[in-house]
């Protein structure tokens, strides 16, 4: 009885230790292999449908295109990049489900290309908890504040910076009595607060300010309050739909017919002109961040984008941003080599835009330079990619006005 | 701020309230006769707005838009009466209400799928406002109010001056007694759904003329329309109209005091106050002589 139990115990122990050994080996073996040749997984999370749908498909194509470009050089640090794409539907709810799927099912190690601020803010807690970096094209200043671990990189100007550009443009055009109207969310209020800060710092005054709720059947009361202060320009933090209704109601009211409007480019686009007609659109100054158009990297990107999609790169400023996400991620990965853990790559991102580094304009150039032991400064297709302490970039801005039936660039504002 | 300022605010409220009133009238008709709160009313408005868009594309102008929008919404509600609500009429009101929520999701998703989420606009000429005393009156707003007033007049005419209207009021008052008196409840239901759909469709077209057409537009109007319905006593057509106007005016007049982001809250505060003081709604006594 005792003998039998003893032998059972021994057998159990032997079997158990064998099992532990097998599990331990199984755990280490693929880990070692991963450092060598398994693909590095990128989760592309773009607004393919919903309000971001004019931009999302192009952003997604630019990510795949850039990953192909990296892979054609033989990959990074011995690893190929592999892209898995999901649609945010420009909705935080859908984006949260999508990002969980990308991380938990597809094993994505970096998330790239969220567009609207609401989506980015909803996705960030999940990527942060997973220890995964998040690269976005959103504007809300709150994103910088929420990014506690320096794992979030913004390839678009903040709304605050947009506001500063508005102030520069208002000064350039000689406006004296600006008023502001903001959509009640982080992006809209970020724009007008950025403007107000910059404008009042230069000694100016804002004559009236309104924050409005979206999706109203009318904005006449809001307009009435703004126009009562007799402004010469209204600076907007808005989206396309509310802007369409507000400008139409202003025109129909017949009040202050000489008033002009400074509006961010995502709201003041071709669709707005189509909706309002050229007579109303004549009073609009559209301000948008622009790509790094004079850089060789932009020419390189634009040619590849045209070939891949059949559309001009100038039609989608966000595509250049997502392209740069993959290229700078690849270069950072090369700089961090042989450690290709997401955190190590994240820590190397600032090293590839060091001001005193060798300027490089493509992934192939950068990879060769890093392998030769040089520090590099990647000049992006979307902007110079100089990340500030929050991981935000500072692109140039364009000032466009209507000519015929479309917006035409009249000026470029640099910081 | 001076009197003219407040007068203009109140006027804005009346224009907005006219649209709420049409939605509320649609809800209250369904509630009075089919006896459930129709959560699809907002999305039926959206159908009307898209239908109206087709009307202007075919070159009908405002009148074409209204006719096409009203026809589209009425067709949708009657179709769903035959497919859905007729079968559920014998069950409790909750079954019909939940079905209407499902219908709302279905309509919105179908419009989003087939029409896309980009905004569309009615291709109508823009006209400047004229000053009537202190009021700044836009031609579009006059059209909105005139169309709403005409629809309300037709609805009340139908309810009070025609035989089918009398039967509808009889069914609303006491369905069993109406059936015992030989009233064909099926025909009453069809006419009621036609009217409810037409009113919601008109609201959708008017909202589309003032704003932009998207698959979500009607959904955003559902809550104020419900609030107006409850405020004016559920099932009471006069109450629904006055409730809509009251909420519209209260919201706009409150803006100098609470600001623009809280004016929607004011509509609900009025409703809350009503429910505490007079939970049966403003016009409960009239309801007895529907």
Three-state SS string over chain A comes to CHHHHHHHHHHHHHHHHHHHHHHHHHHHHHHHHHHHCCCEEEEEEECCCCCCCCCHHHHHHHHHHHHHHHHHCCCECCECEEEEEEECCCCHHHHHHHHHHHHHHCCCCEEEEECCHHHHHHHHHHHHHHCCCEEECCCCCHHHHHCCCCCEEECCCCHHHHHHHHHHHHHHCCCCCEEEEEECCHHHHHHHHHHHHHHHHCCCCCCEEEEECCCCCCCHHHHHHHHHCCCCEEEEECCHHHHHHHHHHHHHHCCCCCCEEEEECCCCCHHHHHHHCHHHHCCEEEEEEECCCCCHHHHHHHHHHHHHHCCCHHHCHHHHHHHHHHHHHHHHHHHHCCCCCHHHHHHHHHHHECCCCEEECCHHHHHHHHHCCCCEEECCCCCCCCCCCCCECCCEEEEEEEECCEEEEEEEECC
Q: Using pLDDT thresholds of 50, 70 and 90, give the confidence band for residue B286.
A: very low
Given a contact cutoff of 8 angstroms between Cβ atoms, the answer to whether A6 and A56 are in contact is: no
Quote the CA–CA distance of A118 and A232 in Å, as a whole number. 32
Task: Say yes or no to pLDDT of B140 above 50.
Answer: yes
Q: Using pLDDT thresholds of 50, 70 and 90, give the confidence band for residue A392.
A: very high
Which residues sit opposite A235 in a β-bridge?
Answer: A180, A262
Segment A108-121, tens digit of pLDDT:
999 999 999 999 99
Q: Between chain A and chain B, how many beta carbons pairs sit less than 8 Å apart?
A: 96
The answer to whether the CB atoms of A220 and B12 lie below 8 A apart is yes
C-alpha dihedral sign at B94, B98, B101, B107: negative
Mean pLDDT, rounded, for A183-212 = 94
B8 close contact with A: CB closer than 8 A: yes
Mean pLDDT, rounded, for B79-98 = 93
Nearest-Cα residue of chain A relative to residue B19? A217
B264 close contact with A: CB closer than 8 A: yes
Residues A196, A197, A203, A204, Cα dihedral to 10°? -10
Task: Say yes or no to pLDDT of B252 above 70.
Answer: yes
Which tokens belong to A132?
A: 């995964």
- Residues in A touching B263 (Cβ below 8 Å): 213, 221
B3 close contact with A: CB closer than 8 A: no
Which tokens belong to B156?
A: 């009340």
Nearest-Cα residue of chain B relative to residue A256? B128
Tell me, what's the pLDDT at A9?
55
Closest chain B C-alpha to A181 CA, distance in angstroms: 11
Mean pLDDT, rounded, for A273-294 = 94
Helices B219-231 and B263-277: crossing angle in degrees, nearest 10, is 30
Nearest C-alpha neighbor of A265 from the set A234, A286, A243, A293? A286
Residue in A53, A184, A280 closest to B117 by CB: A53
Mutate to test the interface with B, among A188, A220, A269, A281 (most CBs of B within 10 A): A220
- Residues in B touching A252 (Cβ below 8 Å): 126-129, 138-140
Task: Say yes or no to pLDDT of B187 above 50.
Answer: yes
Percent of chain A with pLDDT over 70: 91
Q: In 10 A of CB A415, how many CB atoms?
A: 11
Q: Using pLDDT thresholds of 50, 70 and 90, give the confidence band for residue A36.
A: low
Mutate to test the interface with B, among A217, A239, A256 (most CBs of B within 10 A): A217
Task: Say yes or no to pLDDT of B189 above 90.
Answer: yes
Task: Say yes or no to pLDDT of A131 above 80.
Answer: yes
Mean pLDDT, rounded, for B152-156 = 92
Quote the CA–CA distance of A111 and A401 in Å, as a whole number. 36
Quote the CA–CA distance of B14 and B21 in Å, as a whole number. 10
Give the predicted TM-score (pTM) of the model.
0.85
Tell me, what's the pLDDT at A214?
87
Segment A215-225, tens digit of pLDDT:
899 999 999 99
Mean pLDDT, rounded, for A184-207 = 93
Tell me, what's the pLDDT at A330?
97
Tell me, what's the pLDDT at A29?
46
Nearest C-alpha neighbor of B235 from the set B91, B47, B93? B93
The answer to whether the CB atoms of B126 and A277 lie below 8 A apart is yes
Percent of chain A with pLDDT over 90: 82
Given a contact cutoff of 8 angstroms between Cβ atoms, the answer to whether B275 and B267 are in contact is: no
The C-alpha angle B144, B148, B153, rounded to 5 degrees, equals: 150
Tell me, what's the pLDDT at B264?
85
What is the interface pTM, i.e. ipTM, of the complex? 0.92
Which tokens belong to A241?
A: 């739909």
B255 close contact with A: CB closer than 8 A: yes
Segment A83-110, tens digit of pLDDT:
999 999 989 999 999 999 999 999 999 9
The C-alpha angle A396, A145, A49, rounded to 5 degrees, equals: 65
Phi, psi (rounded to 5 degrees) for A411: -160, 160
Task: Say yes or no to pLDDT of A154 above 90.
Answer: yes
Task: Say yes or no to pLDDT of A275 above 80.
Answer: yes
Task: Say yes or no to pLDDT of B243 above 70.
Answer: yes
Q: Of B212 and A202, which is predicted with more confidence?
A: B212
Tell me, what's the pLDDT at A33?
40
Tell me, what's the pLDDT at A367?
96
Q: Using pLDDT thresholds of 50, 70 and 90, give the confidence band for residue B287.
A: very low
Given a contact cutoff of 8 angstroms between Cβ atoms, the answer to whether A245 and A383 are in contact is: no
Task: Say yes or no to pLDDT of B50 above 80.
Answer: yes
Residue in B19, B119, B255 closest to A217 by CB: B19
Q: Would you list which residues of chain A are within 8 Å, Cβ to Cβ, of chain B?
A: 49-51, 53-54, 184, 210-213, 215-218, 220-222, 224-225, 228, 240-241, 244-245, 248-249, 251-255, 271, 274-277, 279-280
Q: Using pLDDT thresholds of 50, 70 and 90, give the confidence band for residue B220.
A: confident
Q: In 10 A of CB B116, how many CB atoms?
A: 13
- Residues in A touching B214 (Cβ below 8 Å): 241
Mean pLDDT, rounded, for A308-325 = 94
For residue A297, give every residue at least 6 positions away whose Cβ sits within 8 Å of its Cβ, in sequence order, or none.
A361, A362, A378, A379, A380, A381
């Amino acid at each position: 009885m005792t003998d039998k139990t003893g032998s059972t115990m021994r057998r159990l122990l032997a079997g158990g230790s064998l099992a532990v050994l097998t599990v331990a080996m199984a755990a280490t073996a693929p880990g070692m292999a991963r450092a060598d040749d398994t693909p590095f997984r990128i989760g592309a999370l773009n607004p393919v449908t919903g309000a971001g749908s004019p931009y999302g498909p192009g952003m997604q194509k630019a990510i795949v295109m850039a990953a192909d470009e990296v892979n054609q050089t033989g990959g990074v640090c011995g690893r190929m990049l592999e892209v898995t794409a999901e649609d945010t539907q420009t909705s935080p709810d859908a984006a949260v489900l999508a990002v969980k799927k990308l991380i938990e099912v597809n094993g994505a190690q970096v998330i790239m290309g969220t567009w609207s601020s609401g989506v980015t803010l909803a996705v960030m807690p999940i990527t942060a908890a997973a220890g995964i970096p998040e690269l976005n094209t959103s504007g809300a200043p709150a994103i910088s504040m929420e990014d506690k671990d320096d794992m979030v990189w913004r390839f678009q100007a903040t709304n605050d910076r947009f506001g500063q550009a508005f102030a520069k443009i208002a000064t350039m055009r000689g406006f004296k009595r600006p008023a502001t109207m903001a959509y009640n969310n982080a992006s809209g209020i970020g724009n007008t607060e950025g403007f107000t800060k910059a404008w009042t710092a230069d000694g100016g005054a804002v004559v009236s300010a309104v924050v409005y709720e979206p999706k109203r059947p009318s904005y006449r009361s809001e307009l009435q309050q703004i126009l009562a202060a007799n402004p010469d320009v209204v600076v907007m933090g808005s989206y396309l739909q509310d802007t369409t209704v507000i400008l139409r109601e202003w025109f129909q009211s017949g009040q202050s017919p000489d008033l002009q409007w400074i509006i961010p480019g995502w709201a003041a686009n071709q669709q707005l002109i189509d909706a309002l007609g050229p007579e109303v659109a004549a009073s609009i100054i559209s301000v948008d961040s622009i790509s790094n158009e004079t850089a060789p990297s932009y020419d390189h990107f634009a040619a590849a984008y045209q070939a891949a999609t059949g559309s001009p790169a100038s039609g989608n400023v966000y595509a250049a941003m997502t392209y740069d996400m993959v290229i700078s991620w690849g270069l950072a990965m090369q700089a961090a080599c042989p450690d290709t853990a997401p955190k190590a790559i994240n820590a190397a991102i600032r090293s590839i835009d060091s001001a005193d580094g060798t300027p490089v304009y493509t992934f192939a150039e950068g990879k060769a330079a890093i392998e030769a032991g040089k520090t590099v400064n990647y000049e992006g297709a979307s902007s110079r990619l100089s990340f500030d302490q929050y991981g935000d970039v500072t692109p140039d801005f364009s000032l466009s006005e209507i000519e015929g039936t479309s917006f035409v660039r009249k000026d470029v504002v640099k910081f | 701020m001076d009197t003219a300022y407040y007068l203009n605010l109140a006027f804005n409220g009346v224009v907005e309230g006219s649209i709420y009133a049409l939605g509320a009238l649609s809800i209250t008709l369904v509630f009075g006769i089919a006896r459930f709160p129709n959560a699809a009313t907002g999305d039926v408005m959206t159908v009307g707005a898209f239908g109206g868009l087709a009307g202007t594309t075919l070159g009908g102008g405002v009148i074409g838009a209204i006719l096409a929008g009203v026809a589209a919404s009425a067709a949708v509600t009657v179709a769903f009466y035959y497919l859905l609500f007729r079968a559920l009429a014998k069950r409790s009101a909750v079954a019909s209400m939940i079905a209407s929520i499902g219908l709302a999701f279905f309509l919105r998703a179908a419009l989003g799928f087939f029409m896309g989420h980009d905004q569309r606009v009615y291709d109508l000429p823009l006209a400047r406002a004229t000053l009537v005393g202190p009021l700044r009156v836009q031609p579009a707003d006059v059209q909105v109010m005139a169309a709403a007033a005409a629809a309300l007049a037709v609805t009340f005419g139908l309810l009070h001056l025609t035989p089918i209207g009398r039967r509808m009021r009889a069914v609303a008052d006491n369905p069993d007694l109406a059936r015992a008196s030989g009233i064909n409840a099926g025909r009453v239901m069809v006419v009621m759904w036609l009217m409810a759909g037409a009113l919601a469709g008109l609201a959708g077209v008017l909202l589309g003329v003032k704003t932009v057409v998207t698959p979500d537009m009607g959904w955003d109007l559902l809550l104020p329309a419900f609030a107006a319905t409850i405020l004016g006593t559920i099932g009471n057509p006069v109450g629904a109209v006055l409730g809509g106007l009251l909420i519209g005016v209260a919201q706009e007049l409150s803006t100098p005091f609470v600001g623009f982001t809280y004016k929607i809250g004011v509509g609900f505060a009025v409703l809350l106050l009503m429910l505490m003081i007079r939970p049966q709604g403003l016009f409960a006594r009239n309801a007895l002589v529907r």
